[in-house]
Amino acid sequence: MFRWFWVGLLGLGLAMAGRYNLGTPITPEQVDPYDVRPAVLPDGRGLPPGQGTVEEGGRVYAERCASCHGANGEGYPFNRLVAEPFPITPETESTQFAIGNYWQYPTTLFDYIRRAMPYGNAGSLSADEVYAVVAWLLYQNGVVDGAQPMNAQTLPKVEMPARALLQLDPETHKRFPWLKLP
């Protein structure tokens, strides 16, 4: 009985939406910045050509990221990106999670930043700029020494300290048995 009521209401809603011209068809230009393919996989597949150094990344970061993530990635007003304490422990507050102590794959960093940052203006960085800012962030987190530029060959080889988080807990056979997620 009630089901027919809801079906009827939905039908009425759809009819009205058509009648009042609600909604606007989305254009290919509007979709483009969000349609970033292929996604970058942990083994590096999908990384585009290009490269960037720590030094260049420092400039990109200062101009495009520091206002939200702090001058050195310490995280104010938004997420902390540079990690300390190292490594993460059961006592680490979730606000302290950052790249060095929490991100398990370097390639995810590339994909995420290219897809989502700078917040509100995603898609505005070139591939070289994304590689550079990733290089700077890895350097700031003490993950790389900065001697090599980051590109499709070097980035997937970077070993993230937080890879250990993917190991199963020997007792519970679960991941992150102690982690308090935000």
DSSP character at residue 59: H
Rounded least distance, CB 32 to ligand HEC, Å: 19
Q: Write the binding mask 37 to 66 for ligand HEC: x where contact by CB under 6 A, - elsewhere.
A: ---------------------------xx-
Rounded least distance, CB 11 to ligand HEC, Å: 36
Residue bearing tokens 């970077």: 158
Rounded least distance, CB 4 to ligand HEC, Å: 40
CA-to-CA distance for 161 and 8, rounded, in angstroms? 56
135 lies in the site for ligand HEC, by CB under 6 A: no
What is the distance in angstroms between the CA of the first residue and the CA of the last residue of the chain? 42
Q: H or E stretch including 177?
A: none
Of 109 and 172, which CB lies nearer to ligand HEC in the complex structure? 109
At 51, give phi and psi (nearest 5°).
-160, 170
Cβ atoms of 84 and 97 within 8 Å: the answer is no
Rounded least distance, CB 125 to ligand HEC, Å: 6
78 lies in the site for ligand HEC, by CB under 6 A: yes
Could you tell me whether strands 51-52 and 150-151 are parallel, antiparallel, or unpaired per DSSP bridges? antiparallel
User: What residues contact 38, with CB distance under 8 A and at least 6 apart?
Assistant: 45, 46
Out of 119, 175, 176, 178, name the contact with ligand HEC by CB under 6 A.
119
69 lies in the site for ligand HEC, by CB under 6 A: yes
Rounded least distance, CB 123 to ligand HEC, Å: 11
Binding site for ligand HEC (CB under 6 A): 64-65, 67-69, 78-79, 81, 97-98, 112-113, 117-120, 125, 133
